[in-house]
Copies of this chain bind each other. A is one copy, B any other.
Amino acid sequence: MFQAQTYQQRRHDLAALISSGLIFLPSNREASMNCTDNTYPFRQDSNFRYFAGHNIPDLALTIDGATGESRLWGDDINLDHVVWMGEQPSVAELAKNIGAKRGGTQAELSTLLKKHSGDVRFLPPYRAERETFIKEHLGAAAGADEGLIRAVIALRSVKSAEELEQMDIAVKTSMKMHAAAAAHAAPGQLEAEVAGLLEGIAISGNGRLSYPAIVTRNGHVLHNHYHGNILKKGDLLLIDAGAEATSGYAGDITRTFAVGADMTAKQQDVYDIVQKALTDCTAALRPGITYQSIHLDAGRIIASGLKDLGLMKGNVDEAVAAGAHALFMPHGLGHMIGLDVHDMEDLGEDLVGYDDKMKRSAQFGTKNLRLGKELQAGYALTVEPGIYFIPALIDRWAADGTCSDFINFSALEGYRDFGGIRLEDDVVVTNTGHRVLG
């Protein structure tokens, strides 16, 4: 946790942007796994954590939009709970630690919310229990407040020095995970063995993973959480895994290497293109440039490299304009990162990543870019180019003749079992350019 002043300042800034109504920011509750009391590891709501700091369930913060007065609500524990949970600070102490007042019990909060239901501003719920709570207290028709969403995004998008310090910690732990994986992955192991090694390191850092790890010899399956394959010598192993620091800030790192072997020339050729995309796109980061333009830079580097390998053809700029590169990289180049790995995704991707000047593309591939708008100093984001050979997608494009002016479908036959390569770093935009985190 940061000093009380940090949270006070954030709440002050938020109230200044909102100026009326009652801002309601609940903590998360414990999430049931296979029965009510066997829960997943607790994950705090990132907005609550940003404004109220505490990594504790069943609390809520309210901020009076007009006065900025902040109150923390929750129930103190009794002796029965002490036996199971140990001594815990009172809600009054928790409130004091973040420069807020104690509000009252959960029951008192319920009464307050129902009484002022028309005046309560809240963020979009992403867990069913919060949705139910909001309907019960604020009415079935109550909707999240777009002004509040925009204000929170404005504040959370620009990372402070103390936040970046925490992100460096998260990325350093993430790099340690990848180093251990590279050192220990060997033919004959289950993918799960590598996944356990990685996740164990994140937990040993007194945090957890910031998202489910991808550890796969089938890197062309983009969100592959299956870890049941046995690694063979020379397999390309794609690992996309990041740690969450104790403070809640996320790392998000991807590396790809050949298991127990040097890469073949064929693998290395593709790897070098991805590496060039990572290096050149990172170098281009600075305030004032749009991230969509950097995404398209990556497309051009990939198209140009694949043309050199004989897998694409024609004019590179025209190929990228037509979206031909997206056969090989159907995802976006990156996203904001902070207290969430996809920072503030709960608040709406378009409001986070786009604005009046930059609208989301409708084109296959680029439409998946989460961050398109102009960069500002303090934005933290991922740069994660990749090249994948996805048989089902290749077959569909070949059958439909999609982008056939730019793709050498016959040359792709030899790549059907190649898999995929992705490389990813986390970067902060500075006043003068950028800094790679970690």
Contacts and interface: CB of A to CB of B under 8 A. Distances in A.
A396 B45 CA distance: 36
A87 B392 contact: yes
A31 interface: yes
A201 interface: yes
B39 A212 contact: yes
A222 interface: yes
Contact of A199 (B36, B200, B345, B393): B200
A199 B203 contact: yes
A86 B346 contact: no
B342 A37 contact: yes
Contacts of A45: 34
A190 B204 CA distance: 8
A388 B269 CA distance: 62
B195 A203 contact: yes
A128 interface: yes
Interface in A197-243: 197-206, 211-212, 218, 221-228
Contacts of A221: 83-86
A84 B222 contact: yes
A340 interface: yes
A212 B128 contact: no
Contact of A204 (B129, B196, B203, B225): B196
A330 interface: yes
A135 to B, nearest CB: 9
A357 interface: no
A431 interface: no
Contacts of A82: 390, 392-393
A10 B382 CA distance: 49
A305 to B, nearest CB: 21
A421 to B, nearest CB: 16
Contacts of A224: 85-86
A127 interface: yes
A212 to B, nearest CB: 6
A35 interface: yes
A195 B346 CA distance: 30
Nearest to A200: B200
Given A132-B132, A196-B202, A346-B36, A222 B83 contact: yes
A31 to B, nearest CB: 6
A412 interface: no
Contact of A127 (B128, B218, B226, B341): B128
Contacts of A390: 82-83
A32 interface: yes
Given A132-B128, A190-B206, A345 B195 contact: no
Given A83-B392, A221-B84, A224-B85, A35 B126 contact: yes
30 contacts: A31-B33, A33-B40, A34-B43, A34-B346, A35-B345, A36-B126, A36-B345, A36-B346, A37-B342, A38-B340, A38-B342, A39-B212, A40-B40, A40-B41, A40-B43, A41-B212, A41-B225, A79-B396, A83-B390, A84-B221, A85-B223, A127-B128, A132-B132, A190-B204, A195-B204, A196-B200, A196-B202, A197-B204, A199-B199, A206-B228
Given A84-B222, A195-B203, 12 more contacts: A31-B33, A31-B40, A33-B40, A35-B342, A36-B346, A38-B341, A82-B390, A82-B392, A84-B221, A128-B131, A132-B132, A195-B204
